A and B are shown apart, each in its own frame.
Chain A
Amino acid sequence: MNELRAQLREWRAAVQKRLPPWWSRALAGSLIALGIVLPFLFPSSSGFMNATIIAVTYAVMSLGLNVVVGFAGLLDLGYVAFYALGAYSLGWFGSGFFFKARVHVLVSPVASTLPGVHLNFILVLIGAAAICAAAGALIGLPTLRLRGDYIAIVTLAFGEIIGVVAVNGQSVHVGGGMTLTAGNLGISAVDAPYFPGIGSFNLLNLRPWYWLIFGILLVVLFVNLRLRDSRLGRAWVALREDEVAAVSMGIPIVRTKLLAYSIGAAFGGVSGAFFGSYYTEVNAGQFQFGFSIFILAMVIIGGLGSIWGAVVGGLALGYINNYLIPDVLNGLPGKFGLNFQLTQVEFGIFGFLLVIMMVLRPQGLIPERRRRLELTAEIVAEDAQLAEVPGTGGDAT
């Protein structure tokens, strides 16, 4: 097994040496190009397109959570809260929910005749990002004095609080007979994205939706890459590695940590607002604790702290959850004469995948460079040890 690993490492090094220096840029360029033309390869409202849109949105969420958990090392188990807040931002500022108000900013001709607050979708996205960034800082504050598991517990509670507020918000009156949320009834008839000159999006043609979320993904990806290799990104890693040393080197803990929470939350809010519009409804039932874990699983499967890992993890679980299990393999148990459908056991499948992953590749699909260096070094050290101890090196492998 160790020899096999060593051989694989050697091959990879050899391949990488032969590639021209611009290959990574070329690869990124062609992936982006592929991403842009992808919708033309499939019918405009197919199940696959639907799954792709959801998977890309997951990737955005995964990138957001990766900033908090991966970069800054703050285990956040309540990320669903930002999905919820983002979605409600749309419910509040892009629907007829506040029916007494009449605010219209750059919206479609149809929407501008309707009561309620209707802001242009881009404004809603910005608003969602701002609201979630503020909420992220708010949840960050009580965790500043905590470490490790205790942070997880506080964030977990925060996620639950937001969920409960979403359900019970229909009893919270904000004046004029209007309530804070619509609870499990849901805020429906939310605005679809509208751009002057392009028109309104609708669910008969999924391509514009895809391009929109793909564009958001590219922006979020860009921000992530820039932050990783910056003064701020280094400060996060330093805090993650050794808080005492970091603060002694002049890194302000409060500001640096809150920035991580806020940025991660803002990305969650943007994708939440998009989901709200795409699902045409903002319903308290969408924001379950399990979803926080689902996003966290994407980050971990991709490789904690790894930007490309977060994207791949989000896409992978997105496709498995929304395409592979329901559309492709759902009837599989029936073929073996078993009386259930695969969608009924999907959480079992995810759990199984996670266990397999942790056993075979604990560093994730695309590990972060630092962790890869660390793990490789550990393996090399282990190999060296094995070679030194007689009777374990040669015979056992």
Chain B
Amino acid sequence: MSPVETPAPPAVAVLRAEHVTKKFGGLVAVNDVSVDVRQYSIVSLIGPNGAGKTTLFNMLTGLYRPTQGRILLGERDITRARPDVITRYGVARTFQNIRLFGAMTAVENVMIGHHTRMRAGLFGSILRPPWVRREERQTRARARELLAYVGLRKIAFDQLASQLPYGDQRRVEIARALAAGPRLLLLDEPTAGMNPRESEALTEFMRKMRDELQLTILLIEHDMKVVMGVSERVTVLDYGKKIAEGAPAEVRTDPLVIEAYLGRQE
């Protein structure tokens, strides 16, 4: 895997978490973590199981409120914003254990992703004036486009999400997130359950998305090959604390990181 070229990043932080802490009762799941994600970069969040990675994701997307600290999206403080509002501001995510709407087709799932970009309300939906029809038509067309973009086969478009094979479900989930029109895409273990070839394809695809859709990507990942191959920066969490941060090569040789993953050598 060749080292990643950094595409001249404008020094703008899309996302900035400042001293974020999350406590569940006595348990400190995330402890005083600060993360900066620059525009158009791909940043990985790694760490052993239970390190607080997903908890941090849940705070970034508004599912959890941080106990302390604040989160900025661009200039905007989203620390206390509702998840659906954060989505509207341009953050979309996927889940570690795929959470598609099983009783809806692949296309419908992606149309849900477009929800925040649509305007039809109660009366618009009932009366269905021309602009609502147009909006529906465009949303459907856009959903099909996105499904094609993530590489779903045409015959799977109108199948129920729950009946798609695992790899396709992952694809639909990414398409659904893209439909929200995000600036920042959060991927929670996108390669979980994939074989090396699929992982490599996804690594390529992440770069492609970043370049073509002008995205910033923050991902949680366990597969070190993917992490080293795709990320420009890596943040390492262990027991809720940030123990290292930097370019992949630096992080890989950091004694603290090695200790966290392999244990202390006596």
Could you tell me which A residues sit within 8 Å of B by CB distance? 223, 226-227, 230-235, 237-238, 240-242, 244-253, 259, 263, 370-371, 373-374, 377
Contacts and interface: CB of A to CB of B under 8 A. Distances in A.
B187 to A, nearest CB: 13
Interface in B240-265: none
B71 interface: no
Interface string B93-128: 101000111111000100111011010111011111
Contact of A370 (B100, B103, B113, B116): B103
Contacts of A253: 84
21 contacts: A230-B128, A232-B120, A232-B125, A234-B115, A237-B104, A244-B99, A245-B95, A245-B99, A246-B112, A248-B87, A248-B95, A249-B87, A249-B113, A249-B115, A250-B87, A251-B112, A370-B104, A374-B102, A374-B103, A374-B160, A374-B162
Contacts of B95: 245, 248
Contacts of A245: 95, 99-101
B174 to A, nearest CB: 13
A227 B125 contact: yes
A237 B103 contact: yes
Contacts of A374: 102-103, 160, 162
Interface in B54-97: 61, 63, 82-85, 87-88, 92-93, 95
B176 interface: yes
Contact of B101 (A237, A250, A377): A237
Interface of B: 61, 63, 82-85, 87-88, 92-93, 95, 99-104, 108, 111-113, 115-116, 118, 120-122, 124-128, 132, 135-136, 160, 162-163, 176-177, 180
B119 to A, nearest CB: 8
A252 B132 CA distance: 20
A231 B92 contact: no
Given A233-B125, A240-B103, A248-B95, 4 more contacts: A227-B126, A232-B121, A249-B92, A370-B104
B103, B104, B176 — most chain A CB neighbours (10 Å)? B103
Contact of A230 (B100, B125, B160): B125
B61, B112, B113, B124 — most chain A CB neighbours (10 Å)? B112
B112 A234 contact: yes
A241 B104 contact: yes
B132 to A, nearest CB: 8
Contacts of A263: 122
